[in-house]
Structure formats: C-alpha cells, structure tokens
Structure 1
Amino acid sequence: MALREMVRGFAEKEIAPNIDRWEKDGLIPLDLHRKAADLGLLGLGFDESVGGSGGDSLDWYVMAEELVLSGRSSGLLMALFTHHVALVPVAAHGTPDQIAKFVRPTLAGEKLVALGVTEPGGGSDVANLRTTARRDGDTYVVNGAKTFISTGVRSDFVIAAVRTGEAGHKGISLLLIEKSSPGFEVTRHLDKLGWDCSDTAELSFDDVRVPAENLVGPENQGFRLIMELFESERLAQTVMAYTTAQRCLDLAVEWARARSTFGKPLIARQLVRHNLSDMARAVEVSREFAHRVMVRVNAGEALVPQVCMAKKQATDAAQFVADAALQLHGGSGYMRDTEVNRHYRDARVFSIAGGTDEILAEIVTKWMGY
C-alpha cells in the first residue's frame, strides 16, 4: 500500500500534468528518469548489489499498475522503464566492469538503455537475425540494422543481439554498444499509431568497433539470454493491458454519469449500464488471471503457456474496453487530444509488442502438446 501511494503521488505530480505535452513532443524528458531513480523506482526489482532498490516482480507490477492509472499512459511506462527488460541480462550475467559502467548509471537515471533485437525484414524470428559481429583482435566489428527499438532515439547504449557464430540460434551473442561509437547511427525516429511519448528508432551499424569486453555472458549464448527476457516482458505488457482497460472503464463510468442526452444521464440507460457491466467483467477476469499467474511465476514456477494466455486475455480486454469506452464518448472520444483516444490508440500495440497474438498462440499449442 505504501508503494502504491508513493507511486500515485509521483505520477499525479510529475506525469499526469505533463503527459499531453510529452505525447506531442514524442519523448519524455531526461530529468524524469532521475526523479524516478531518486525514489527508487528505476531500481525496483533489481538487486541492491548492482545498484537496484531490491523488491521482487510483484512490487514492480504494483508500481506499473499505479503509473498507468495515475499517469494516464501505458506509453509513459514503456519510455521510462525500457531498462526493466533490456538491462536484465547485464545485471544477471555482466562483469563487474559492465555493472559499474552500464547497470548502476542506468538505475541511477544517468544513462538510458535500449534493447536491439528486432531487425528490418524480421520480427519474432530471433534465431535468424542478420546483424553480424566479427571478432577482430580485442574488438568486434558490427554491421547491420535494428528497427522498432524503444528508447532508441534517446539511449546512451544498446544491448544488441548480434551474430557471432553459425547460422541459427547457436550463433547469437549480446553486445553492449555505446551510441558514441563511430559508425553507430540513429537512421530514423519512427512515428507510431500510439505510445507517442515513447521514442522509437531505426538503428544502423556500419563497421562499428566494439570492445570484446562488452560481450554479455558467453559468446554464442545470447539466444538463451534473450529467451529469458520474454517472460518478464510479456508479463509487463499484461500489466499495461489490463490496467489500460481499467483506466478506460473508469473514464467511461465518469463520462456516463456526467453526460446527459434527452434529459437523462447516459448511465440511466439500461444499454449503457449493461455495456459497462461487460467492460467491468473483461477487466476483472484479465486482472485476476494475470495476478494468479504473476504470483506463481514470482514463486519460481515455469509457466510459459500461462504467461502467454495471460497476455492474450489482457490484450483482448484492453482492446475491447478501450473501443467500448471511446464509442460511449462519441464524437469527443474520436478527438485525438482526449485521454480515452490515447488509450484506444495505445491499446492496439499490446497484440504486437512482446510477441504477437499469433506467436503466443503457437507457443501455447506447442507447450500444451496440441
């Protein structure tokens, strides 16, 4: 409860009054990272030995829920906490020098990180990525491109998946590549349907020399490290989805009580009340199932199919409730500068980010033996 109240106060003071402007700017200010770090929010879920604030994944989910509810944007959560997924391999498998140079400054809000996996022409097919890193003495020479990279515009360094060995998943490694490296370029700042305040980039590497000491974990073992990220990323997306649904429901109820037509408030009409009931059911089912899965995962259970199911359930709820809330708002909801319009646009990404609905369905069928 104390954590939720602290996050609510932070969101109401620092985020909610500014989110509309940041949406128009296409990014959030650097000092927001420092303010979040000062409260220990950036380091939540990371061990104190690497500069984190401690706590577990359940603490992070509580924080994420409140940031969306009080900060009024899932895109803000993505922009502020890219490191929640990207930094995990370095925190877990990095050398002391890597911890000191990259992990601690990021958790202190002094540096920004991006995760570079997706490439032009390939999304979820990680095993066949084409960006290469050829060993040359005490450096790797990197060539290739990445796209749809969250925080790629503002980041100080990228944890990039590169091919250091044979074809397929056995030849992939992770490299820490600093943006100041010659040959590293942000080629495009990408415009999106939603998540406007979360900057997204296309990156290119042209004979970029990276110190061999920037290799994260063993060479050619990067695919396993990437797979370890997916569960936490998908659960984070799940939280954003069902909480977006909750925020849209709250907005819809508020609007239905305030808006009158033909002499009566909208909520006085049976059809409207029944629609709100359906929306509330979608929120409750997705949230309760997700919470049950999160508790079990936090306790150490391996629940790959259940995590995929939880994300799909929450995604469906977010898209259904956001659409219904916008419909209830009528012409006002169709205006881009309304909050419900932002959630409607943002909700569309949940069926894509962290694994598309189709990919998740395939994972479930394999694990269930269908």
Structure 2
Amino acid sequence: MSTTDRAVIPFSEPPYLSGFPSPYYSPSHLKWQKTCRAFMEENLLKHAMEWEREETVPEHVFKKFADNNFLIPNLPAPLPVAWLKKLGIHEMPGGIKVEDWDYLHTAIYVDEMARSGLAGPSASVTVGMAFGVAPVIKFGNQQLQERFLPDLLTGRKRTCIAITEPDAGSDVANITTTAIKTKDGKHYIINGTKKWITNGIWADYSAMAVRTGGPGPAGISMIQVPLKGYPGVTMRRLKVAGQICAGTTYIELDDVKVPVENLIGEEGLGMKYVMTNFNHERLTIAIGVTRQSRVALAAAFEYCLKREAFGKTLMDQPVVRNRLAKCGAELESQSAWVDQFVYQMTKLSKAEADLKLGGLTAMVKAQAGRVFDECARCAVLLFGGNGYTRTGQGELVEKIYREVPGARIPGGSEDVMFDLAVRQLVKLYKQQTAALGEPSKL
C-alpha cells in the first residue's frame, strides 16, 4: 500500500511503498517502515535542511537516537544478539525482536534516513556506529569487546572508522600510518595522519587501520585508538563540498601511545578486516544514494508539472519527458537491483555473502553513484537557474548535486570499484571451476 492518502509523485517512493506488490517485504518490514518513518520525520528530516545550512547537527540528536535504540540499526545484520541482550536490549523499535532483525530492516532504515535528500544530517549521527563498531564485534577478542561494546552499543561513547590517508584513499594496502611496539611490548606508538574521516571530530575512539609490519597488505593491522582529548591526537574539521554537517575530519597522530590490548583481532590481518567491513559500507551507500536519486528526480518531476515555458508547462515538452523517462528507467533498475541484493543478504550466511556478493557489492555501490549523478544532474538542469541557486525553489536539488562526488568517491572510488568487482568475479569463477575439476576458460 502507499504510505500516504494522496497521490504519490512518480519516482518518489520505491514500488513497495507506491501500492505495488513485492516478494521481499514481510509484515515485520512494513511495520518497521512505519515506525522508522515516524521517528525520522520528527527527529531528523524536518530539521535536515536547517542543519545542513548551519553545517552541524546539534549534539542532542545523537543522544535522541541512542536513547531510542535508533543507532543499532546501523550495524550489519544479523545484529550482535548476545551482546544486545546482555545490555538489556531485547527488541528494536516497533517491537521487532533483535534475533528477527535482517538486512531488509537495515535497508529500510537507511532508505528512510535519506528521504531528506541530504546525506550529511544522517551521516553525522550514524556513520561511526555503522562502520566503526562492526570490526570490534566481528574480530575483537572478548576483553576488547568487554571494554568497549557496552558504551559503543548504547551510544554513551562515539566512534568512527579511520582508514583513508592523504596519499592512500582507495589504495588501502599502501597506508603509511605506523604502529610500533614499545620495547617492553606493552604499547603501540602510533604516528601518521588520517583524512576525510566522517564523524571523527566527535569520536571518542576509532577503529583505525595502521601499519604494524612491512609493506603491502600483510603489514596492516587494525587498532582501537582513543581520539577525543587523547594525548598526541589532533583533529580538525575539513570543508567538503557535500555532506557538510557530517563532521569530515583530518586526524594527526604524534607518538600516540595505545595499549597492545587495543589490537583488533590479529596483527597482519587488518587488510582482511578492512575489506570485509567495506561490504556493509558500500551496500548502505548504494541504498542511501538510491533514495537520494528518488528525491532529486521526484522534485524535478513535481517542478515540471507547474513550471511554464514557451506557453506550456515543462512537462508538456517532449524533450523534458524524455529526460525524465531515461533517468527514471535508470533509477528503477537500480532500485530493483538493490532490493534483490538486500534480499540475497537475508538468505545467505555471512561467509557465503562475503564470498559470493563481495565483488558485486562494489559494483552495486559504483552503479548507484552513476545513477545518482544522472538523476541529480537531470534535476538541476530541469530546475534551470533555480537549480543553480543555493536558496529558493532549487535549493534542495542544488545541494543534492553537490553530494554526488560523496557517493562516487568514499567507500572506494568508482573506477576502483568496477575493476575490483570484475577481478573478484574472475577469482570466484576460477575457484568454482577448480573445485568442479573443470578447465578454466580464463
């Protein structure tokens, strides 16, 4: 059923919310969608434009999300059930048992947060939990989890993921931030810089990729590094084109002394941990920017119904309808792929998903960025001068268009993602043919 009692603007909602049947969404998902939309409308969406203009989100917003368990949906599904129950969290908002939560619930959450069309307000609250806590859950030993998860899962403390450096973005294997053990073997001394770290400025901790060994991927580890107010750590916000209020941060680490007990997992396995963590990041990016594409294209559609030029509305111009149709086809194709992809995540084990969908996750993220570019550019062009103006009727689409690079670069830049996808598909094919005893055609 439609989410409203009035006509739905074409392209503004995914099909399952526009009155069309779907094989994917159960009553549990539909109930969660209504709960989620009501919370987001009140606590995020109605203030999103104001916060983006002011370039910051008030601190109380994070606390509101934490107090209502609206940070936990950022985690990869299935949720860390044992830990949540240990902390007294047995149900998610809407009465969904934590053990019944799946990736479709997560996708609905990400989609609903992006309904403002702006990624910054939601990212300011959620990115640290989404990508910074998962490595501790997946790879941290018991003592590490006992020390950090109670505060992180409840939002009493904030974290982030810190991988990218000034000279190593998508080229993760060549990061240069070093972590050298002291002579007594009790601490790491960390030196280096991290750049474009979302939420870093507010973070108490960071799951940080560092070099504990020699060159290349085998020398990389992950360490839980204290940040805010910690000796040797200096942080400053960076001015970026889009996602302005998300707290993009430059971090300098000068002889930062961290206990060896803060090592996440094992030394030398950091590259594996980073790449596994990227799958969740890339899929949520794909989901979010697909919704942003909807917001942009629906805004253009609505504008074209009322804006007149040459004695008729823009919608009466064949060239305008053609432009909207081509972008709409791209958008609905991408939306269907995302739905299918997320459904597959609910049916595969974590190990199977990492193996079979890892490369495709990179591809779905990269394609989402391309579709976003098409839809955002279409909206700006159809808004004309208004779409080039930072205030007034076209303010939203102007802001959305500036966020396109933030979808196509972070989480792995687009060209790298497409190449990675094919390389991983080739690797998987060779493994399958070898296992079957067939000669590879590659």
Look up the equivalent residue of 1:76 and give its one-letter code: P
Counterparts in 2 of 1:58-207, with a 5 A limit? 58-69=104-115, 71-82=116-127, 83-136=129-182, 137=184, 138-179=186-227, 180-186=229-235, 188-207=236-255
TM (normalized to structure 2)?
Answer: 0.79
The answer to whether the 8 A contact 1:127-1:169 is kept is: yes
CA distance in 2, matches of 1:347, 1:89: 28
Query: Residue 34 in 1 paired to residue 63 in 2?
Result: yes
Instruction: Please state how far the C-alpha of 1:255 moved relative to its aligned partner.
Output: 0.9
Instruction: Please state how far the C-alpha of 1:304 moved relative to its aligned partner.
Output: 2.5
CA distance in 1, matches of 2:329, 2:388: 24
Query: Residue 327 in 1 paired to residue 381 in 2?
Result: yes
The answer to whether the 8 A contact 1:174-1:217 is kept is: yes
Counterpart in the other structure of 1:362: 419
User: Which moves more between the two structures, 176-185 or 254-263?
Assistant: 254-263
Counterpart in the other structure of 2:399: 342
CA distance in 2, matches of 1:252, 1:291: 24
Query: Residue 311 in 1 paired to residue 360 in 2?
Result: no
- Give the % identical residues: 28
Q: SS at 1:238's partner residue? A: helix
The answer to whether the 8 A contact 1:34-1:108 is kept is: no
The answer to whether the 8 A contact 1:16-1:72 is kept is: no
Distance 1:362 1:237, change over 3 A: same
The answer to whether the 8 A contact 1:326-1:341 is kept is: yes
CA deviation profile, 1:58-86 (whole Å, cap 9, x unmatched): 211111111112x3322233222212122
CA distance in 1, matches of 2:45, 2:254: 40
Distance 1:34 1:97, change over 3 A: farther
CA distance in 2, matches of 1:107, 1:73: 25
Aligned length: 368
The answer to whether the 8 A contact 2:117-2:296 is kept is: no
Counterpart in the other structure of 2:8: none
User: Which moves more between the two structures, 94-103 or 353-362?
Assistant: 94-103
Distance 1:258 1:16, change over 3 A: farther
CA distance in 1, matches of 2:362, 2:205: 30
Q: SS at 1:330's partner residue? A: helix
CA distance in 2, matches of 1:196, 1:20: 11
The answer to whether the 8 A contact 1:50-1:91 is kept is: no
Look up the equivalent residue of 1:274 and give its one-letter code: N
Counterpart in the other structure of 2:83: 50
Look up the equivalent residue of 1:329 and give its one-letter code: F
CA distance in 1, matches of 2:405, 2:232: 34
CA distance in 1, matches of 2:259, 2:177: 17
TM (normalized to structure 1)?
Answer: 0.94
Instruction: Please state how far the C-alpha of 1:262 moved relative to its aligned partner.
Output: 4.2
Q: SS at 2:166's partner residue? A: coil
Instruction: Please state how far the C-alpha of 1:97 moved relative to its aligned partner.
Output: 4.1
The answer to whether the 8 A contact 2:163-2:172 is kept is: yes
Q: SS at 2:165's partner residue? A: coil
Look up the equivalent residue of 2:69 and give its one-letter code: G
The answer to whether the 8 A contact 2:117-2:291 is kept is: no
Counterparts in 2 of 1:207-286, with a 5 A limit? 207-286=255-334
Look up the equivalent residue of 1:259 and give its one-letter code: R
Instruction: Please state how far the C-alpha of 1:298 moved relative to its aligned partner.
Output: 3.4
The answer to whether the 8 A contact 1:181-1:209 is kept is: no
Give unpaired runs (5+ residues) of structure 1.
Answer: none
- CA-based RMSD of the aligned residues comes to 1.8
Give unpaired runs (5+ residues) of structure 2.
Answer: 1-29, 93-97, 427-441
The answer to whether the 8 A contact 2:209-2:222 is kept is: yes
Instruction: Please state how far the C-alpha of 1:340 moved relative to its aligned partner.
Output: 0.9
Counterpart in the other structure of 1:6: 35
CA distance in 1, matches of 2:45, 2:357: 35
CA distance in 1, matches of 2:59, 2:153: 13
